[in-house]
Every structure is written in C-alpha cells, then in structure tokens.
Amino acid sequence: MSATNVTTPAKKVTTFGFGQMKQNGEKISMLTSYDYTMARIVDEAGIDAILVGDSASNVMAGHDTTLPITLDQMIYHGASVARAVKRALVVVDMPFGTYQGDSKLALSSAIRIMKETGADALKLEGGEEILESIHRILSAGIPIMGHLGLTPQSIHKFGTYTVRAKEEAEAEKLLRDAHLLEEAGCFAIVLEKIPAVLAERVAKELTIPIIGIGAGHGVDGQVLVAHDMLGMTNGFSPRFLRRYAHLYEEISGAVGEYIKDVKSSDFPNEKEQY
C-alpha cells in the first residue's frame, strides 16, 4: 500500500483491525495520552491507537522512572482517556508490581483496569519471565500488547536508558521472547530502542503487528510520547524523536503575554467583563 493510499475509517479500531492493517501493509500510528483533553484531540486527528502509557509517571507526575505509578493512578488516566475516545484503540499499561511474579495478581489487576477504564487492551513489559501472567490474562479474554527491548520498568536492572539488544545474546533472547508472545496470543508487540535491523527481522518473522519506538522504519507502526513529539518536554531529545510542534515555547510565550496583560491591567478589557 502506498503512503497516499492510507484509509482512516470512521469505525472503531479493534485488535483484529490491527492485524488486518499489517496484512494490508498499512502502517499503524500510535501516540500516548493520559487525559481527556489530549486524547480527544489525538483521536479526532485520526490516530489508530492511543497508549495510556505508564510514562504518565514521568510526564504527568514528574517522577524519574515509571516505577512509582500505581494501579489506581493508571486507572484514573485510562478512564479519562477512554471517555474521550471514539475511534482509536485504547491500550493501557499495566504498572510495575501489578503483574510480575504472580499471575493471579496479574489477572485481578488486569480485570480492574478493563472494568474501571473502558480500555480495549493492556500492555505488559517482558517476555518469558511474565509468560504465566500473560497466559492467565489472555484466558480471561483480555487482549495484550507485549513490550520488549528497552522496558523502562526494568531500568534498575539495565542501569541506563541506552539502546538494548546490540549484543547477540540479548538479540537472540528478544527474538525468542517475541515468538513466545505471539504464540501465547498477544495481538501486537512494542519494540523500544533496539537496532533497526533486529526490529525489522522481528516484524518479518511475526504475523502480529510490531510497533516501534526508536526501532527504525522496518516495523509495522510507530508510537511516540505525545508530549515529546509536540515539543512540550524540551529537555528530552533522543535520536529517535521527531518534533512536530514546539509547544513549550508556544505555551511559555502565551503565558508571558497573559502575565504582561494582567500586570498592565490590559486584561480583562470592557468586552471581557459582565
């Protein structure tokens, strides 16, 4: 399918539709949102999927890592987004500590998110280590998007946010994990910050869609943190990030104008009062 031949149907995007997009060669667009107002703009602009990422921990709450965000907080963000969205597939991240090492806890956390947010699917970080949780959640009919490569919930194991799977052993494990996730029944996988050649290989070997972030263009779709691509987080400039707006400067300029107008009594004027 050529880039000019992309269809943006009005109907709701489903996990099934995700697979069809890969089969049809249509790239999948995905962005994060954590609140109603942003999700509404992003959905109405025609995005295919919205990720309520646990990056809310950094972007919304100012934490250094994604580890502190809680299940209740993710449910709050997920429900706010789901209320706004009419078309995009809504995927909510399961937060750190709610699914690793205990598949019963994983299922009850997953059910809470699905019941209380109205989301369409969940995303979990990891491969073989969390397979039991994945099987149990899937057995309840809850769709799962996997996440391999740089998995920020494991930052204390990695010690750095640098590119993953550059060495052969880690690349082989990632490939194995990707196949395990597909065999288990995940409907898609996010690959974060890995060599483009490896990501392309995964996308070619698997039939489910592979969504990349810092994983090159040989995959089936792309995801970015909306606040980063809109230029609201101006201190963060990884190589993979393309900025489509410079909202930090825009907002800062607008706030400066407002302050000036308040201080000079220019705002409000006669027409702006009752």
- Residue with CB nearest ligand KIV? 53
Q: How many residues does the chain have?
A: 274
Provide the minimum distance between the beta carbon of 122 and ligand KIV in the complex, in angstroms, as a whole number. Answer: 12
Known catalytic membership, residue 192: yes
Closer residue to ligand KIV, CB minimum distance, 158 or 267? 158
The CA angle 213-217-220, to the nearest 5 degrees, is 80
Q: Are 67 and 153 in contact (CB under 8 A)?
A: yes
Which residue type sits at 272? E
Nearer to ligand KIV, 11 or 242 (CB): 242
Whether 248 contacts 227, CB under 8 Å:
no
Using the Cα atoms of residue 9, residue 15, residue 20 and residue 25 in order, give the sign of their dihedral.
positive
Residues that bind ligand KIV (CB under 6 A): 32, 51, 53-55, 93, 190, 192, 213, 223, 225
| CB of 43 or CB of 192, closer to ligand KIV | 192
In angstroms, what is the minimal distance from the CB of 224 to ligand KIV? Answer: 8
* 32 vs 80, beta carbon nearer ligand KIV: 32
Asked if 66 contacts 225 with a C-beta cutoff of 8 angstroms, the reply is: no
Closest CB 116 distance from ligand KIV, rounded Å: 19
CB of 221 to ligand KIV, least distance (A): 11
Per the residue annotation, which of 26, 125, 182, 192 is the catalytic one?
192
The string of DSSP letters for 96-129 reads TTSSSS-HHHHHHHHHHHHHHH--SEEEEE-SGG
| Catalytic (active-site) positions | 192
